[in-house]
Chains A and B, each alone.
Chain A
Amino acid sequence: MQAPPLTREQQAMIDATLARIRGALAGAPTQPAPEPAHLFQPIVLFPAEVCNAPKD
């Protein structure tokens, strides 16, 4: 079974979501990419501030 085509309302929602996200991220200053260590975590790609924080 194939997915039914998107309705006009669904397509409008998708377009609005993408426009909002791209507008928000367009002006973002470029930062260093997350450190490679995070790429080796099997489940999360998460900033060092959280992963390396003391647990209490």
Chain B
Amino acid sequence: MRRKTDRMIDQIAALGRGDTSARGLAETALAQAQTLCELNAFVALDPDKVLAAADASDGRRRAGFTLGPLDGIPIAVKDNFLTKDYPTTACSDALPLEPTDVDATLVARLREGGAVIFGKTNMHEWAYGATNTTSRFGPTRNPCNPGHITGGSSGGSAAAVAGGIVTAALGSDTGGSIRIPASACGIYGFKPTYGRASRHGVLPLSWSLDAPGPLAASLDDIAVLLSCLMGEDAGYAATRGSHPFQPVAALSRKARLVSLTGPGLERSDEVDAAVTAALQRAQGCTVETRALPGMRRFFGAWETILHCEATAYHQPRLATAAGFSPVTRAHLEAGQYLTAQELLRAQQVRAEFCALLASGLGDWDALVLPTLPVPAPAMGVDWQEFGGRRVSTQDSMTWFCWLGNLAGLPAVTLPCGLSSTGLPIGLMLMGRPGQDERLLQIAKFIDTAVNQTE
């Protein structure tokens, strides 16, 4: 059922040549969405709105101008980004099914660039989970095998891209929520450095861990999207000083990669083999293996900050707990018991972790790990076993990815092979803070070697 995914840059080129129209792209996407409706990727999609935006784009092109490279490109949006023409519910019963008359900054930037907002995508309730099986609209299914989960929490966005409905979508990432589903569905996902893309108008899970970013059919697509999305936003103070994404040139010197291992970083044999093989093909990189100590403590810090910030945001709703699923409510209630001292201790550990990455691992350009320790789990399977560990499916999804959020690092996932059952395996690279362009440059080099996209 999976359709080979076109790339967005191919759509841009076809529009430029006049080989297709924005309406043509929109109609194809709508037809594919209908064909793949069993994936449950979309929670709101209005063909009239899509076609009206596409016709407006075609009108501009006929008049001899465009608003930018994204003009006429259908792009889906995760249901925690405010959109003035669709309801925003974070897939929770706690919010009404009514539009808010406001666009999140990144949605507004897409519209200003002429993109066709292609509906809202399914997600894990409030982004408070990484399986996409808890949603007021039901679970999302993996286009590579509908009997398996997409991962989450941006699972609908990943399914929409991997299913070939759209070539790009917006997601958000607090402990891997862009990278996890992108990896599980065999596509690309990019979490920018904290503060380089505006969170304004994105319903928060944990505001000092959250980062919005794109999922797409190729790294070239991601570069185009980041050029539109990143940069300072007067409405969001954390972006102060953030400059727009710069064009990425080819890798001009060897990249120094550090492959992380140690307790807490175990992975299945087939995932390890796929990642190792991919790195061996990337001849322009040096790869050093280093142990990362203190994983239990660092994970504890991430989890403390996550629960405290989520509970603080949801405090008014907890009085009645109306609309929360039982598991989400339990997460939020846990945050109420954590003390101020424990949150400050977690922030101290966070500072320790950032210092360790900055100077305790030698000189590196990117840290490398699998994105997930296992391929996409089957629906309804609550536990995963790998590397001598027995871990809940939820925890297996965030197993590696939260590291990037705790330190605010840019991170990218790219497909690097298939499991014995044909499910995608992803490789994750994390760069130094602010060096998103360098990270994408390294990822592109490895992707070309592994997936021969050029």
A interface residue numbers (CB < 8 A to B): 1-4, 6-7, 9-10, 13-14, 17-18, 20-25, 27-34, 41-51, 53-56
A1-B320 in contact (CB<8A): yes
A43-B236 in contact (CB<8A): yes
B352-A45 in contact (CB<8A): no
Known: A43-B236, A46-B408. A53 touches B433 (CB 8 A): yes
Known: A44-B208, A50-B408. A10 touches B326 (CB 8 A): yes
A-B contact pairs, 13 of them (CB 8 A): A1-B320, A2-B319, A3-B319, A20-B303, A21-B300, A24-B300, A25-B297, A25-B300, A31-B352, A43-B207, A50-B193, A55-B241, A55-B243
- Complex CA gap A36/B193 in Å reads 22
A9-B433 in contact (CB<8A): no
A9-B408 in contact (CB<8A): no
- Complex CA gap A13/B237 in Å reads 35
Segment with Cβ contacts to A, from B114-122, B145-153, B328-336, B379-387? B328-336
Q: How far is the CB of A38 from chain B (nearest CB, A)?
A: 9
- Of the candidates B207, B329, B334, B351, which one forms a contact with A17 in the assembled complex, judged by CB atoms under 8 Å apart? B334
Chain A, Cβ-Cβ closest to B303: A21
- Chain B interface, >50% SS class: helix
Q: How far is the CB of B368 from chain A (nearest CB, A)?
A: 20
Name which of A10, A21, A28, A32 has the most chain B CB atoms within 10 A of its CB. Answer: A21
- Complex CA gap A55/B303 in Å reads 27
B307-A17 in contact (CB<8A): yes
Could you tell me which residues of chain B, from 332 to 368, have a CB within 8 Å of some CB in chain A?
333-334, 337-338, 342, 344-352, 354-355, 357-358
A55-B342 in contact (CB<8A): no
Q: How far is the CB of A13 from chain B (nearest CB, A)?
A: 4
- Of the candidates B337, B349, B434, which one forms a contact with A54 in the assembled complex, judged by CB atoms under 8 Å apart? B434
- Complex CA gap A42/B207 in Å reads 11
Which residues of B are found within 8 Å of A55, using beta-carbon distances?
193, 196, 241-243, 434
- Chain A interface, >50% SS class: loop
- The number of chain B residues touching the other chain, given as a range, is 35 or more
A14-B194 in contact (CB<8A): no
Known: A3-B318, A6-B333, A50-B407. A18 touches B338 (CB 8 A): yes
Known: A24-B299, A46-B208, A55-B434. A2 touches B320 (CB 8 A): yes
B301 interface residue (CB < 8 Å to A): yes
A31-B348 in contact (CB<8A): yes
Which residues of B are found within 8 Å of A23, using beta-carbon distances?
296, 300
Chain A, Cβ-Cβ closest to B309: A45
Q: How far is the CB of B116 from chain A (nearest CB, A)?
A: 31
- Complex CA gap A33/B357 in Å reads 18
Which residues of A are found within 8 Å of B242, using beta-carbon distances?
55
- Complex CA gap A54/B333 in Å reads 38
- Complex CA gap A14/B436 in Å reads 37
Q: How far is the CB of A16 from chain B (nearest CB, A)?
A: 9
Chain A, Cβ-Cβ closest to B352: A31
- Complex CA gap A6/B303 in Å reads 21
B321 interface residue (CB < 8 Å to A): yes
Which residues of B are found within 8 Å of A7, using beta-carbon distances?
326
A27-B297 in contact (CB<8A): yes
B238 interface residue (CB < 8 Å to A): yes
- Of the candidates B304, B329, B354, B407, which one forms a contact with A25 in the assembled complex, judged by CB atoms under 8 Å apart? B304
B435 interface residue (CB < 8 Å to A): yes
B338-A24 in contact (CB<8A): no
Known: A18-B338, A50-B407, A55-B242. A10 touches B333 (CB 8 A): yes
Chain A, Cβ-Cβ closest to B436: A56
Which residues of B are found within 8 Å of A4, using beta-carbon distances?
321
- Complex CA gap A6/B344 in Å reads 28
Which residues of A are found within 8 Å of B322, using beta-carbon distances?
1, 3
B208-A21 in contact (CB<8A): no
- Complex CA gap A22/B238 in Å reads 30
Q: How far is the CB of B444 from chain A (nearest CB, A)?
A: 16
